Amino acid sequence: MTTLAQYLQTHTTAQIASTMTTLATASVAISNLLSQGALAGIHGEAGGQNVQGEAQKKLDVISNDLLLNSLIQNPNCAGVASEELDDINPANENGTLLVTFDPLDGSSNIDINMTVGTIFSILPYHNQGQKATESDFLQAGKHQVAAGYFIYGTSTMLAVTFGAGVAMFSFDPVSQNYVLINEKVTISEQTAEYAINSSNRRYWLPPIQQYIEELTQGDTGVRNKDYNTRWVAAMIADVHRILIRGGIFMYPYDTKIEGKAGKLRLMYEANPMSFIIEQAGGASTDGVQRIMDIEPTGIHQRIPVVLGAKEEVEYIKALHEMAGILANGEKA
Ligand code: AFP
């Protein structure tokens, strides 16, 4: 049996290991709160009450505070950015790492007792001795030194990469340890399962319209085989399923909201999940280019996402090329 603490000693630097331990400790506290569910008064909107009649914050706010407060006390951490907060938080000026996180991805699932999770990304910090600013965080995903997620489902699990494959851990509530269950997670290049919110169909660009049309025609169309749809409405759960049994996940460019090219956030969702997917042998693009090559322009930037089985992701990229689509849905 290998615990997370043992794995970290041999697979990463002391600074990243310490930051990972801080994240893992916070994740256990979040997992405990989630398992208390309605009894902790965490269901419903902020402003509700728990069984003791105390005013409650929403769980995504509680999770955000837990992660933020523990990370800024870690001497290795030079700054923290959260999907929940407008501004970045500078931490220890002599730290070597920056952390971004989505404290509770899929938070609308909490009220219906469905899977949610914490996504994190760790970047290098280059301005020791100075207070971290937003521009220090604006590094392309290929510079991440670690990324992963804690998923709170029927059990609590961790998937993490330090740039040499993806390891998966399961939390043992008896020993209170994350225990290694798969040291090299791999994704098949083909699939017969796809995840997309089809209610947005009319807003998609022609290449995605064509792709989904081909899949839904199943064995009566050009694909000559049937496909299955799955959509949890929590990227973390859809990506976890892909790591376990393959598939493709899409939140593509759409024209639903003027000025918003996609729903998902580059720094909190797309980059860390792309690092995980690529390290497991899959691919990740915005439909046109590799997500981890994109130079961020803002900490809360949104981005279209197409990730998972390599052959499918490449095919979608080819469809965009044939249609002459450039980044951000513009035509050549
Ligand atoms: P929340 O964290 O606000 O619930 O959003 C989750 C998410 O950003 C992502 O995890 C899902 O893939 C996507 O939204 C689901 O969006 P739809 O509302 O289109 O199903």
The answer to whether the beta carbons of residues 82 and 64 sit under 8 Å apart is: yes
Sign of CA dihedral 313, 305, 210, 229: positive
Which of 81-95, 171-185, 248-262 is the least confident region? 248-262
The answer to whether the beta carbons of residues 246 and 253 sit under 8 Å apart is: no
pLDDT of residue 329: 72
Best mutation site among 61, 112, 235 for ligand 1, i.e. most ligand atoms within 8 A of its Cβ? 235
Residue in this structure with the two tokens 């600074």, named with its chain if needed: 15
The answer to whether the beta carbons of residues 8 and 20 sit under 8 Å apart is: yes
* Confidence band of 51 (pLDDT split at 50, 70, 90): very low
Average pLDDT in the 48-52 region? 47
pLDDT of residue 261: 77
Residue 110, SS3? Answer: helix
The answer to whether the beta carbons of residues 185 and 159 sit under 8 Å apart is: yes
Mean pLDDT, all residues of the chain: 93
Question: Per residue in 207-237, pLDDT tens?
Answer: 999 999 999 999 999 999 999 999 999 999 9
pLDDT of residue 36: 87
| Centre of ligand 1 from the C-alpha of residue 270, in Å | 12
pLDDT of residue 66: 96
Q: For 279, list phi and psi in degrees, rounded to 5.
A: -70, -20
234 lines ligand 1 (CB under 6 A): yes
Best mutation site among 30, 61, 63, 108 for ligand 1, i.e. most ligand atoms within 8 A of its Cβ? 108
Domain ranges of the chain: 4-182, 193-323
In whole angstroms, give the CA distance from residue 330 to residue 165: 34
Strands 283-285 and 248-251: unpaired
pTM, full prediction: 0.95
Residue 260 has pLDDT above 90, yes or no: no
pLDDT of residue 60: 86
The answer to whether the beta carbons of residues 256 and 139 sit under 8 Å apart is: no
233 lines ligand 1 (CB under 6 A): yes
pLDDT of residue 255: 87
| Centre of ligand 1 from the C-alpha of residue 256, in Å | 15
pLDDT of residue 46: 57
106 lines ligand 1 (CB under 6 A): yes
Which atom of ligand 1 has the smallest separation from the CA of 263?
8
Residue 43 has pLDDT above 70, yes or no: no
Tell me if 4-182 shares its fold with 193-323.
Answer: no
How would you list the strands of the sheet with 177-182, edge to edge?
Answer: 89-90, 77-82, 97-105, 116-124, 146-152, 156-161, 166-172, 177-182
Residue 53 has pLDDT above 60, yes or no: no
Q: Which fold has domain 4-182?
A: Fructose-1,6-Bisphosphatase; Chain A, domain 1 (3.30.540)
CA angle at residue 243 from 239 to 246, to 5 degrees?
95
Q: Where are the alpha helices (DSSP H) in the chain?
A: 4-11, 14-36, 59-72, 134-137, 206-217, 235-245, 271-279, 310-322
| CATH placement of domain 193-323 | 3.40.190.80
pLDDT of residue 47: 57
Residue 257 has pLDDT above 80, yes or no: no
Residue 158 has pLDDT above 90, yes or no: yes
pLDDT of residue 41: 66
Sign of CA dihedral 223, 224, 230, 236: negative
* Confidence band of 39 (pLDDT split at 50, 70, 90): confident
Sequence length of the chain is: 332
Residue 50 has pLDDT above 60, yes or no: no
* Confidence band of 258 (pLDDT split at 50, 70, 90): confident
DSSP 294: P
Question: Per residue in 318-328, pLDDT tens?
Answer: 999 999 998 76
pLDDT of residue 54: 47
Cβ neighbourhood burial of 217 (10 Å; 0-12, 13-18, 19+)? middle
Question: Per residue in 86-138, pLDDT tens?
Answer: 999 999 999 999 999 999 999 888 888 999 999 999 999 999 999 999 999 99
pLDDT of residue 331: 73
Which atom of ligand 1 has the smallest separation from the CA of 234?
10
Residue 49 has pLDDT above 60, yes or no: no
In whole angstroms, give the CA distance from residue 57 to residue 44: 9
- Please report, rounded to a whole number, the percentage of residues in the chain having pLDDT higher than 70: 94
Rg, the chain, Cα only: 20
Average pLDDT in the 151-156 region? 96
pLDDT of residue 52: 44
